[in-house]
Amino acid sequence: TSRSVQVPTDTNVTNPEPAPVQLNESRFTGDKRGFSIFVHVLFKCIGKHRNQQRLLKQARNIIREFTSRHRAGIDLGMPLIDAIEKRLRGLHGIEVHWRYALGYMARYNEKKRIEALKPVVHLL
């Protein structure tokens, strides 16, 4: 069974600021849902560029490969999310897309946080 993931979209801003990130920094360790959403956003960022279809295919193959290894019980030497992230970030040309996807995720999380703070109005 597959679940649909909503990708944050904002028509007012075409290019969010790339989020600063260090190469060895992992923001997703232990956050399966957050990483899943991030990968979906990352694929959307890469998919916008027709000349990046090879990179998109390589990234999808990495996800597929590591997921099947993990399900087969093969030890990856680190948590699945960390292993996937390390391999993805090793792809030539992905870093710029990675930073933009992190920027989208930061805005998405901020919007969720603001929505959670809004009072709930009950209509009687």
Instruction: Indicate the DSSP class of residue 120.
Output: P
Residue type, 122: H
Instruction: Indicate the DSSP class of residue 77.
Output: S
Measured over the CA atoms of residue 52, residue 82, residue 24 and residue 29, the dihedral's sign is positive
State if pTM tops 0.85.
no
**Percent of all residues in the chain with a pLDDT value above 70, rounded to a whole number:** 73
pLDDT of residue 44: 95
- pLDDT tens digits, 43-73: 999 999 889 999 999 999 999 999 999 999 9
- pLDDT tens digits, 2-31: 444 444 444 444 555 544 444 445 667 777
| Residue 77, Cβ density class (10 Å: 0-12 exposed, 13-18 middle, ≥19 buried) | exposed
Q: How far apart are CA 101 and CA 107, in angstroms?
A: 10
pLDDT of residue 123: 60
Q: How far apart are CA 110 and CA 99, in angstroms?
A: 17
The alpha-carbon radius of gyration of the chain (Å, integer) is 16
Q: How far apart are CA 59 and CA 93, in angstroms?
A: 11
Show Cβ contacts of residue 121 under 8 Å, excluding neighbours closer than 6 positions: none
